[in-house]
Structure 1
Amino acid sequence: MSLKDDLKGIIPEKELEKLPNRFDIVGDIAVVSIPEELANYKEDIARTIMGKMQNIKNVLNKVSKLEGNRRVAHFEIIAGKSTETIHKEFGFSYKIDLRQSFFNGRLSYERKRVASMVKPGERVLIPFSGVGPFAIPAAASADSIVAVEMNGAACKSFTKNCRLNKLEDKIHIINADANSIPNLLKTEFDRAIIPTPYGMDHFLETISPLVKDGGFIHFYTFKPKEEIPELIEKYEDMGVEVLFYRRCGNVAPGISRWVFDLKK
């Protein structure tokens, strides 16, 4: 049963069509985007979600898109009392305050997939590292991780998460703008994981020179499906081999997040 099905008879059918059928789960928090037209039904929606999923203790209404350099949205608490949680994923735990740090629970499979390719002894670079969901599982195999994150609050949570997962000796966190990476780092890496924000494709060219020949890059971008063949050609012209690519979530009508596994 979908959320809309559960709300039939509570919200009039015409208005119910405007409600997104999906909501995100981060730890014991459910995040839903409620249109303004359904503002009078917020409590009904929260009550339905919490009744449907017994582990949910807080329901947040996402009232803005990601904003500013910290890449965080604004949330309204419509059930519960907190925006803080501990999210567990494939044996790792992450302390997060969604009002201070961005976290995408829908990328859990990608984080596991990429981490499974990291080999013992590798040095890995991860810009846009957030609270550590790509870095921490990768660190379980890697020799060392250099993670760069602009949001100071996210870096503080990331530091706590390194201790929580007993990986603090393997991960070096730099609180800086990813644009400054070429000036900050002069060594080569075996692998780079680049979960770029929307519209920042230039970071592939920024980070690629720091990956050694024969090294690997996992690059995330946002594109319509019809642009993918042209994108593959562009990457190959840059001197990288496209080993694999896949869609990993829709973000807007006609626009999806894609990951490319590249070999330099």
Structure 2
Amino acid sequence: MAPALHLTPHRFLLPRRPGSARLLLRVHLKPLSSSSPHSPPLDGPSLRRGRALPDYPDPFARAFDLAALRVPAASCAPLERRLRGHLLNWPRVRNVARLPNDQGLLGLGISLLSPPPRHPTAEEPGSPAPPATAVLRREKLAREFNARGFLRFPNLARLSRPSPAARKRRERKGGGGDEEATREPDRDKAYVVEVVREGMEDDEDEWWKGLVGEEGFGRGAWRIGPTRLLMLDESYAERRVDELPEAVKGVLNHETQQDGLSAYELIRCQLTLFYNYWPMNEVLEELLPEGVIIPTGFETVGHIAHLNLRDEHLPYKKLIAQVVLDKNKPKIQTVVNKIDAIQNDYRTMQLEVLAGNDSLRTMVIESGLRFQVDLGTVYWNSRLATERQRLVNDIFRNSDIVCDMFSGVGPLAISAAKKVKYVYANDINPTAVEYFKRNMVLNKLERKIEVFNMDARRFISAIYSSQHVHPVTQIVMNLPNDAAEFLDVFRGILRSGQSELHCVMPMIHVYGFSKAEDPEHDFHGRINVALGENVDIVEMHRVRLVAPGKWMICASFTLPFSIAIAEPNYISC
């Protein structure tokens, strides 16, 4: 008889036969998923789930059928709190909707329990004036501002009468211009709620079967005042009153018993979401071809959005930039893309303006400080803001003298100047130095900073050979591509100039990139090669992953005294 087959989760185990080895066959079962990565979610707003409206000029308009409770405006706030778990609760969509011109009979100055009031006439001088409602105000305007009255109010006449161009457009369309104008969504609106009334005019009694009140339905009871719509959860869209959860009906019955005049109507409505509602990733997913990775991240520099598009995105770069601009207004006014990698000594990037205005000059606010930047002529990286604050808050002390060898426009040096005793800064780009000086004055820190415009090696040699500078305690070398190559300047730095007995060995923070499996070990080896000796104690910090498998590393170590007095191995400039 054949041996039995034992089935265990994720593997089949065959029983061992006498004299045979054990056979183990592992089977990895792929978990079942109800939807593919590109399929729409089962609930919630989504471009793929919504019903497209071909008549709308907005191609991203999507309609969703929902149910809503029409409640008195006075009871809306407490009901919203008590029914929170049963409401729509969609992002950026309010659970309470207000229909236009929904003032109720009280809003018109009419009561169901008393005859309608009469307007005072000349024969009744003592009669009280009617309440000032929107309808009465419009009637008063219609009586007073007639054809002759418009002569005294030319602006009102111009606003009230259609322009000749509008009349011509309406005539060409055969009178359909007004209807299309009412259908066109407002550019500033993200969504609109409309009550669906299909089939309600044929059978008027059916319209009131959804009312909940003292007698099962309270026809007309809610008309005593203005009303609001409480948008119910999407799962209640096709339900009737008797199919609502008991918790919802219990809350409504309790409110009805508290106020006998209240009634609650269950109606169907349509929620239309426009282009302004949808987030950037959903719009791009709808526009870009299938299989193209959706670009979702970009660097923000003031009013500029800096993209790093892949080659597959370049045919659609204008489209992507326009969506980024639309979804981030008014903060973002310009969208640029980096054309090529940084290959010059000034670290400037070649940028292409894809959308918005052409100005690359902007103001950046970082840690409460303001920096003027021109991305076309200087270097700036907002993604290093956290690293700069790590140095200032966790490493630098109040008594430190900081030396920034590659300062740029001064984001680190100016931020450090608020805390430390003094700062020496340098950059080889004269335009960056000019912006640095502006930013010093802008932040009122010019008395604690001295800025230079020279090569980094000459700068360090000048600092250590001068007799009028403070002893440097912290040195920052944030030039990841080439910073390690400048470490040789510290070899023999104390052989001339300052006295060995009165000089403090500085803490050096050097940055670099590494693609090795062990980036810390790789960068440590490059530091030892540049210094010509082994530095045993080096603290490594991973700043960020700039690309797949490529880390930006910060190595911090105290300059050994033996290296500071050693024989230089470079030619002084």
The residue aligned with 1:205 is 488
Offset of residue 52 of structure 1? 2.9
Offset of residue 232 of structure 1? 3.9
* Aligned pair partner of 2:368 in 91, 95, 113: 91
Offset of residue 247 of structure 1? 1.5
Q: CA, structure 1 residues 27+127, in 2 after alignment: closer, same or farther (shift >3 Å)?
A: same
Please tell me whether the aligned partners of residues 279 and 327 of structure 2 are also in contact (alpha carbons under 8 angstroms): no
Please give the alpha-carbon distance, in whole angstroms, between the structure 2 residues aligned to 1:3 and 1:158. Answer: 35
Q: Cα deviation per residue 1:205-226 (whole Å; 9 max; x = unaligned)?
A: 3247669545322221111341
Please give the alpha-carbon distance, in whole angstroms, between the structure 2 residues aligned to 1:208 and 1:59. Answer: 45
One-letter identity of the residue aligned with 1:112: Q
Offset of residue 92 of structure 1? 1.1
Q: CA, structure 1 residues 119+43, in 2 after alignment: closer, same or farther (shift >3 Å)?
A: same
Q: Secondary structure at the match of 2:347?
A: coil
Q: CA, structure 1 residues 217+144, in 2 after alignment: closer, same or farther (shift >3 Å)?
A: same
The 5-angstrom pairing of residues 52-91 of structure 1 reads 52-54=327-329, 55-81=331-357, 82-91=359-368
Please tell me whether the aligned partners of residues 240 and 263 of structure 1 are also in contact (alpha carbons under 8 angstroms): no
* Aligned pair partner of 1:226 in 518, 535, 553: 518
TM-score normalized with structure 2 length? 0.42
Tell me whether 167-176 or 212-221 shows the greater mean CA deviation: 212-221
Tell me whether 187-196 or 150-159 shows the greater mean CA deviation: 187-196
* Aligned pair partner of 1:133 in 411, 415, 421: 411
Q: Cα deviation per residue 1:125-169 (whole Å; 9 max; x = unaligned)?
A: 111110001101111112211111001111111111111111111
The residue aligned with 2:224 is none
Q: Secondary structure at the match of 2:446?
A: coil
Offset of residue 199 of structure 1? 3.5
Please give the alpha-carbon distance, in whole angstroms, between the structure 1 residues aligned to 2:321 and 2:526. Answer: 46
The residue aligned with 2:542 is 247
The residue aligned with 1:102 is 379
Structure having the higher strand fraction is: 1
Superposition CA RMSD, Å: 2.5
Q: Secondary structure at the match of 1:7?
A: helix
The residue aligned with 1:189 is 472
- Please, which runs of 5 or more residues in structure 1 have no aligned partner? none
Q: Does 1:217 align with 2:508?
A: yes
Q: CA, structure 1 residues 198+4, in 2 after alignment: closer, same or farther (shift >3 Å)?
A: farther
Q: Cα deviation per residue 1:94-146 (whole Å; 9 max; x = unaligned)?
A: 11000000111110001111011322232111111100011011111122111
* Aligned pair partner of 1:257 in 532, 546, 552: 552
TM-score normalized with structure 1 length? 0.88
Tell me whether 249-258 or 60-69 shows the greater mean CA deviation: 249-258
One-letter identity of the residue aligned with 1:258: I
Q: Cα deviation per residue 1:52-91 (whole Å; 9 max; x = unaligned)?
A: 3231111111111113111111111112221111111111
The residue aligned with 1:47 is 322
Q: CA, structure 1 residues 176+214, in 2 after alignment: closer, same or farther (shift >3 Å)?
A: closer
Please tell me whether the aligned partners of residues 2 and 21 of structure 1 are also in contact (alpha carbons under 8 angstroms): no
Q: CA, structure 1 residues 208+90, in 2 after alignment: closer, same or farther (shift >3 Å)?
A: farther
One-letter identity of the residue aligned with 2:353: I
% identical equivalent positions: 28
Q: CA, structure 1 residues 127+6, in 2 after alignment: closer, same or farther (shift >3 Å)?
A: farther
Offset of residue 249 of structure 1? 1.9
Please give the alpha-carbon distance, in whole angstroms, between the structure 2 residues aligned to 1:5 and 1:126. Answer: 43
Please tell me whether the aligned partners of residues 520 and 540 of structure 2 are also in contact (alpha carbons under 8 angstroms): no
Please give the alpha-carbon distance, in whole angstroms, between the structure 1 residues aligned to 2:543 and 2:356. Answer: 31
Please give the alpha-carbon distance, in whole angstroms, between the structure 2 residues aligned to 1:207 and 1:145. Answer: 19
